[in-house]
A and B are shown apart, each in its own frame.
Chain A
């Protein structure tokens, strides 16, 4: 338990404040515990968690405007309603 890098913990808290609030009907019962155990498992596990949360992490530093201009496919993608 003491093995989890503190920086990751606090990043998680920050990211947690940004997560959406809608509910989902299909509950996944075990992912939270599994991701936590990945962190306890050493470097390989930590790298998996970083990969999982990478988009969220860089999203903090990317402004919405630059995010739009960085996305060349936005005009090409057909809209789906």
Chain B
């Protein structure tokens, strides 16, 4: 137990850290946070929020489970482990929006109980399928009448501004967010918005005015100090109205580029006949029924068709990765409508999320969050090899390392979709052949079953690592 170390993402908080021991998740509550935590629990707020599913459930457990670390803490809490941890730069627009609304709803309820939130980090929200869930029990603290919303700036940067970037300018938040880690600053967003956007009074106050005040403070044009803040206060009704207005505004935000994107119609236009689709479906369902994976990664999930089928046939939880925003939005809607444990995330397989943040350890890479129990890589490999020039065997090895079992689909060069990738370029892929595909897999894994799709000569391989 002496080797117990806090998870890298939780080091900033003096209130407590998160630990994973033998696949169980624990959180310490330090002396610093004890008084607030006791108060918050006495209000019944956490019980209410956990019962309604807005906050991750927890229970206090024997402190010895964390050894000396547990003994030094006031409490040790245990929470259920979520199937998959994701980050806001991987969330599609609808997920970030749902997380923002969750944060505002929780804060509104908290204020009714005399409690406030000490921060507004988007990293305090995780997903169970497409349902956002607040995970940081130590963000709650006693509300002091008249106090300001200390997390307001962070809320704007981590939730509001990234949503506005897409809603007003049609630019997805993900690459920027992944680079900055802390969201999008109001001053940066302000520089990009057009004059017409400032006729919107909410943009005017929450973005332009805040940005102006921030800039003037940064440049020492004004100096705000504690005496200024002591002279004034934010009355509770104003605080609540601010939260309510933000909730109403964000509820109505939609991506400006809500038109069709590259992949969201793919499922309707791909080059399978219905019979071939049936062959593919049977193969995939046999695989899922045989393995019943607790966590299935669907690489290149498109609109979530196969993920949904897998869930209906024995998979417990599916994470669908795709690089297309429109396809992810469709997957999100599908999961929401049909109440599926299907979590759509933005991921370019040629550039998956890296280890990053403080010391390169704060936010784990996709690979560091492996293994899944099973993986689907359907019609993915040719995009990486022919479309992105990644060596064929490297692509195969990368997929094989993500899970102990899975299905990989090989799309031959003669396939009409592969031809789209090839027709304007030189064929520099001599080893991209059926023979090389099968022989490389045979060297590394056990091939359980193979299926050739008759007309297109596509090959599906169900494999298991030895």
List residues of A whose CB falls within 8 A of some B CB. Answer: 1-4, 6, 9, 12-13, 15-16, 19-20, 22, 24, 27-42, 44-45, 47-48, 51-53, 56
- Known contacts: A1-B205, A12-B209, A33-B153. The answer to whether A24 contacts B232 by CB under 8 A is no
Chain A residues with CB below 8 A from B217, complex form: 28, 31-32, 35
A28-B224 Cα distance, complex, nearest whole Å: 10
- Known contacts: A2-B201, A48-B232. The answer to whether A32 contacts B238 by CB under 8 A is no
Given pairs A19-B215, A28-B214, A32-B153, 15 additional interface contacts (CB within 8 A): A2-B201, A3-B238, A4-B205, A12-B208, A19-B221, A27-B218, A29-B153, A34-B229, A35-B217, A36-B210, A38-B234, A41-B232, A41-B233, A41-B235, A44-B232
The answer to whether B228 has its CB under 8 Å from any CB of chain A is yes
A40-B221 Cα distance, complex, nearest whole Å: 21
Q: Give the distance to chain A from B3, nearest Cβ to Cβ, in Å.
A: 35
Chain B residues with CB below 8 A from A1, complex form: 201-202, 205-206, 242, 245-246, 249
Q: Which residue of B lies closest to A2 (CB)?
A: B201
The answer to whether B254 has its CB under 8 Å from any CB of chain A is no
The answer to whether B438 has its CB under 8 Å from any CB of chain A is no
Question: What are 20 A-B interface contacts by the 8 Å CB criterion?
Answer: A1-B205, A3-B241, A9-B205, A9-B208, A13-B212, A28-B214, A31-B224, A33-B149, A34-B224, A35-B224, A36-B152, A37-B152, A39-B209, A40-B238, A41-B238, A45-B233, A45-B234, A52-B228, A53-B216, A56-B216
Q: Which residue of A lies closest to B217 (CB)?
A: A31
Contact B153 A24 (CB under 8 A): no
The answer to whether B23 has its CB under 8 Å from any CB of chain A is no
Majority secondary structure of chain A interface residues (helix, strand, loop or mixed): helix
List residues of B whose CB falls within 8 A of some A CB. Answer: 148-150, 152-153, 156, 186, 201-202, 204-206, 208-224, 228-229, 231-235, 238, 241-242, 245-246, 249
A25-B377 Cα distance, complex, nearest whole Å: 47
Chain A residues with CB below 8 A from B228, complex form: 38, 48, 51-52
CB-contact partner of A38 in B156, B221, B232, under 8 A: B232
